[in-house]
Every structure is written in C-alpha cells, then in structure tokens.
Amino acid sequence: MILLGVNVDHVATIRQARYRDETSNHGGFIEPDPASLAWLAEEAGADGITMHIREDRRHVQLEDVQRYQEKMKTRLNLEVSLATEMVELALSLKPESVCLVPENRKEVTTEGGLDIISNMERSRDAVRAFTNAGIPTSMFIDPDKKQLEASAEIGSPWVELHTGSFARAWYDEKRREEELNTLKEGMNFGLSLGLRINAGHGINYHNVTGAKELNQVYEFNIGHSIISRSVTYGLTEAVKTMRRLLND
C-alpha cells in the first residue's frame, strides 16, 4: 500500500493572504487554521502530515507546528532548508521525520530538487545532527543517479523524488512517458542503494493514475491538489479520494 502524506502549507498560504501581519493565530481563531485542517486530514485517513517552515515564514508559522503537535494522531514530516538556523529549529521541534528542501526567495513554491552534490558538507552535517537526535532525514531531490548516490553517501536513509517535471508533462504523452520512466529508473536505483523512496510535487487527481505506477514508492506527499479540491468537496472527501486513487 502506498501511504499518503498531506501537506497543509497551502492552508497557511490562504490565511497569510489576509493575516500576514499578525504575529499569532490566536489559538486557531484566525482562519483557516493549518493545525485544525491537519487534524481533520488525519481523521480522513492521512498517514502523515507535512509542514514546511520556510526561512521567510511566508506560510506556515512556528505556532502552527506546535499547535498541531499538541493533538496530532499520526506523524509530522517537517520540511526545512539546509540553513543552520532552520536545522536547529527542526531539531528543537522533534518531528517524526525531516525532509531537507531547497529554497529560493523568488519562487512561489519549491521548483526543483536539492543539489546535494554542491552542498555535501552542509547536507552531511544536517543528516548527522538529525540522526543523532533519532530523526530520519529525507532529501528532496530530482530523480538523478548522482544525487541519489550523494544521498546514500551522506547517510540519509530516505529520499523524496521531485515529481514536478512529470506533473508538468502530463498532457504531453511522449514527455509524460519519458518523465515517468526517469522517475522509475530513479526509484529503482535508489532502492538498490538501500534508500526508502518517497515522492511528491504536482501530483493531482488526474496524474495520480500515472504516478501510482511508481509502485515501490513508500509515500506520496501531496498538498496543493488536495487543498484545492477541498474547497469544492470538503477536506474529508479530498483526502479519502486521493488515498483511494493511490491504491486502486
């Protein structure tokens, strides 16, 4: 069975569009509240919750994570950059897992995988710090053999393959198959290195039929599409439908 991690960052994005100058969410009374929606996603069948605290705090705030942890029912996958202060913040929050991601201040959302090769020492130090704290680390990378090898070399037990190129190619049959084959090759190569393979970015209710062909992926982390569907059908339906589509 492929697990579903629900990313609630875009709940915070909606809130910050109105309340970006607020220093506190006042226990969830400023809406929408990412923690409350994370609990609801868990009740609907999410296997885990992903939150990304960015250096610029453009969506998820520290208080969101802390509130969610107070009553969480599954597990927290915390996304942070390699910046020293963000690694230290993640260590202080003691999530069940950490995913290290790239950050570009000009991007709307994460645009590609982390370049571990260009950041070997920082990546190795971060993985070592999380490992010593008993926190498994995942590297958010493109399905590139050199990046997979680098992930294994620095001691990261997991990777999350960036599926954005596949998602963008979905309506071009030739490119779609090329990107899917690249992901399959990356998945199989990562497994041969002893890595656990997660995946995510741009997966929606249409392209999930192709994405689930990556049947050795342990968990997909999906956010934008689920939150978007919830506007029409409610979060419970959105989570249940995506979980069913992943495993039909």
Q: Residue-wise over 217-244: b if at least 16 C-beta within 10 A, else e?
A: bebbbbbbbbbebbeeeebeebbbbbbe
Reported confidence tier of residue 29, pLDDT bands at 50, 70, 90: low
Catalytic residue among 10, 42, 59, 79: 79
Of 27-31, 60-64, 242-246, give the lowest mean pLDDT range: 27-31
* CB burial of residue 8 (10 Å; 0-12, 13-18, 19+): buried
Q: Provide the CATH number for the domain around residue 67.
A: 3.20.20.70
Q: What value does the mean pLDDT take over residues 83-110?
A: 87
Give tens-digit pLDDT for 183-239.
999 999 999 999 999 999 999 999 999 999 999 999 999 999 999 999 999 999 999
Structural domain harbouring 51: 3-247
- CA distances 38 to 25, 66, 94, 128, 212, Å, are 15, 12, 18, 29, 23
C-alpha distances (whole Å) from 29 to each of 35, 52, 106 are 11, 21, 30
pLDDT tens digits for 114-150? 999 999 999 999 999 999 999 999 999 999 999 999 9
Cis upstream peptide for 32 (omega within 30°): yes
Active-site hit among 10, 52, 59, 162? 52
Q: Of the candidates 235, 239, 237, 185, which has an alpha carbon nearest to the alpha carbon of residue 214?
A: 185
| Residue 234 falls in which region: left (phi positive, over 0), alpha (psi -120 to 50) or beta | left
Rounded distance between C-alpha atoms, residue 48 and residue 69, angstroms: 12
> Among residues 10, 59, 162, 201, which one is catalytic?
201
Query: What span, in angstroms and rounded, lies between the C-alpha atoms of 118 and 94?
Result: 27
pLDDT of the residue at 22: 67
Cβ(207)–Cβ(243) below 8 Å? no
Q: 112 pLDDT band (50/70/90 cuts)?
A: confident
At 61-94, the pLDDT tens digits run 999 999 999 999 999 999 999 999 999 999 999 9
Sign of the CA dihedral running 128, 131, 133, 135: positive
Residue indicated by tokens 């249940």: 240
Number of domains observed in the structure of the chain: 1
Nearest Cα to 78, choosing from 113, 53, 60? 53
Is 79 assigned a catalytic role?
Answer: yes
Top-confidence residue, 112 or 128: 128
Give the predicted TM-score (pTM) of the model.
Answer: 0.94
At residue 153, what are phi and psi to the nearest 5 degrees? -65, -35
